[in-house]
Amino acid sequence: MLKSLIHSKTGLLGALILVFIVFLALTANLISPHNPFEQDIVHKLLNPVWTAGHDAKYFLGTDQLGRDVLSRLIYGSRVTLMVAFSGTVVAGIVGVILGCISGYYGGRIDAIVMRIADIQLSFPFILLALFIAAVLGSGLGNVVLIAGLCCWVQYARMVRGEVLSIKEIEYVEAVRALGGSNMRIIFVHILPNIASTIIVIATLQMARIVLMEASLSFLGLGVPIEIPTWGRMLAESRVNIVSYPWHAVFPGVLITLTVLGVNLLGDWMRDYFDPNLDV
């Protein structure tokens, strides 16, 4: 598998980008030149070293509270990745479970779950996310929850399809309670088949989640405002954008880069596991 990845120019690029971002997140406290929370009001609103109005101490400049931009960018990767991974896990778990239940029990439960799925698909998620954020408030946990809620549908549909096809093979009596050998058979049969598809779905969903977290942070509804996150940095940069345009450039570049990496890797994965996948 690794060989195929190396041969694919785009897949390799995506993987390298992601490795870079993960590296930033993991070594943030080691490689950041400054403390991202530390405010240095005297040196606020500095530009990057290659423009006028800079200070060599702060390589990419400082924001309106005098915090080092470079360090905040590096630490921002942590939030992005954390939300991306946990959101994906939540979405995956919810989706797989709902898909199993829906496919296994069929009937009214299936109809209801699939109806909800259809409704949710036709509704741009940002609105539901806003509504939930408004009600529940901001915070990392809520963002992860929202991310999970936004993306469970694809998993559910796929798993449900697999369960239905297994049901066709063996005659399964309608079982009222969970447990019993039928449930186990289904898991034994299904899991190997869907593992690769789940990975592909997860990778492509991650791109959505990264963008969604950035959007929520931009609107002020994401994680608490002291925690550095790229979306938030972009929002804060708008105030002084006419005089200090550079502060708006870097966070956006990083978001784009991360999403690009995830998409490239996801596309490669889909082609590797099954080019005919309807994802």
Partner 1 sequence: MAAYIWRRLVQSIFVLLGITIVVFCVLHLSGDPVQLLVPPSASQADVEQIRQEMGFNDPLYQQYFRFLKGAVQGDFGKSFYYNEPALKVVLDRVPATTELAVVAMIISLVIAIPAGIISAIKRNTVLDMLIRFFALLGQCVPSFWFGIMLILLFAVNLHLTPTGGRSGFASVILPAITLGMFSAASITRILRSNMIEIMGMEYITVAKAKGLTRFSVIMKHAFKNALSSILTMIGMQFAALLGGAVIVETVFAWPGVGRLIVQSITNNDFMVVEATVVLLAMTFVFINFVVDILYGVINPRVRMR
Interface residues toward partner 1, by CB under 8 A: 115-116, 118-119, 121-127, 130-136, 207, 211, 214-215, 218-221, 231, 234, 237-238, 241-242, 245, 248-249, 251-252, 255-256, 259-260, 263-264
Name the DSSP class of 58.
S
Q: How many Å separate Cα 132 from the centre of its chain?
A: 18
Least Cβ distance, residue 104 to partner 1 (angstroms): 23
Rounded least distance, CB 216 to partner 1, Å:
10
Please report how close the Cβ of residue 211 comes to partner 1 at its closest, in angstroms: 6
**Cβ-based nearer residue to partner 1, 37 or 125:** 125
CB of 231 to partner 1, least distance (A): 8
- 99 vs 223: CA distance, rounded Å: 30
107 torsion bin: left (phi>0), alpha (psi -120 to 50), beta (else): left
Beta bridge partners of 68: 62
- Min dist CB 210 to partner 1, Å, is 9
Q: Which of 135, 127, 141 is nearest to 224 (CA)?
A: 141
State which residue, 93 or 119, has the beta carbon closest to partner 1.
119
CA 120/CA 127 separation, integer angstroms: 11
> By C-beta, is 184 or 238 nearer to partner 1?
238
In DSSP terms, which residues pair with 47 in a beta bridge?
A: 54
Taking the least distance from each CB to partner 1, the nearer of 182 and 240 is: 240
CB of 212 to partner 1, least distance (A): 10
Shortest Å distance, C-beta 105 to partner 1:
20
- Nearer of residues 190 and 254 to partner 1, judged by Cβ: 254
In the complex, the smallest distance separating the C-beta of residue 271 from partner 1, rounded to whole angstroms, is: 12
Q: Which is nearer to partner 1, 159 or 207 (CB)?
A: 207
- What lies within 8 Å, CB to CB, of 111 at 6+ separation is none
Distances (CA, A) of 58 to 24, 203, 210: 18, 35, 27
Burial class (CB in 10 A: 0-12, 13-18, 19+), 38: exposed
Nearer residue to partner 1 within complex by CB, 163 or 233: 233
DSSP 136-201: H---HHHHHHHHHHHHHHHHHHHHHHHHHHHHHHS-----SSS-SHHHHHHHHHHHHHHHHHHHHH
Structure tokens that stand for 205 in this block: 């969903």
Nearer to partner 1, 112 or 191 (CB): 112
